[in-house]
């Protein structure tokens, strides 16, 4: 993925495929601690422990007709490249929360991309989903 907005688009689409009705996206820029935190939380189907265990494997997917599932693996890799990490919290029937951290000033941190257009695209193509977006600086 070329930028953070594309990661958001991919993970949000995963949430929608998991029957989420609400998706909360938050970006926090903490310049004092040189930290960027991206959180995407949904109320979709959630994942069991086995699925969470395999979720970062690019050759694992729950999508019918697909052989690879690169989204979470790419986000995790992007976070690690920029001195951060990614965490998955999920329970079946309770949704999923993805948190990725990046060193804000790291040379390998992906640019934000067009966040406004990404959120707008999600809202236009999925008007039935309640999507909230907060960007805190």
CATH code: domain of residue 99 = 3.30.565.10
Query: For position 7, what pLDDT does the model report?
Result: 96
Which two structure tokens, joined as six digits, stand for 119?
């959120």
Query: For position 70, what pLDDT does the model report?
Result: 61
Residues 124 and 137: their CA atoms lie apart, in Å, by 26
| pLDDT tens digits, one per residue of 46-60 | 999 888 887 776 565
Three-state SS at 88: strand
> Residue 95, by phi and psi: left (phi above 0), alpha (psi -120 to 50) or beta?
left
pTM: 0.89
**Domain span including residue 117:** 4-136
**Structural domain count, the chain:** 1
């Amino acid at each position: 993925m070329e930028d953070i907005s594309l990661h958001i688009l991919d993970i949000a689409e995963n949430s929608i495929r998991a029957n989420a009705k609400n998706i909360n996206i938050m970006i926090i820029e903490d310049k004092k601690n040189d930290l960027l935190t991206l959180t995407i939380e949904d109320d979709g189907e959630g994942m069991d422990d086995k699925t969470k265990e395999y979720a970062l494997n690019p050759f694992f997917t729950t999508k019918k007709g697909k052989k690879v599932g690169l989204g979470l693996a790419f986000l995790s890799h992007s976070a690690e490249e920029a001195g951060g990490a990614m965490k998955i919290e999920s329970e079946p029937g309770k949704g999923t929360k993805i948190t990725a951290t990046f060193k804000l000033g790291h040379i390998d941190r992906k640019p934000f991309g067009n966040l406004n257009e990404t959120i707008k695209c999600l809202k236009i193509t999925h008007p039935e989903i309640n999507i909230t977006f907060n960007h805190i600086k």
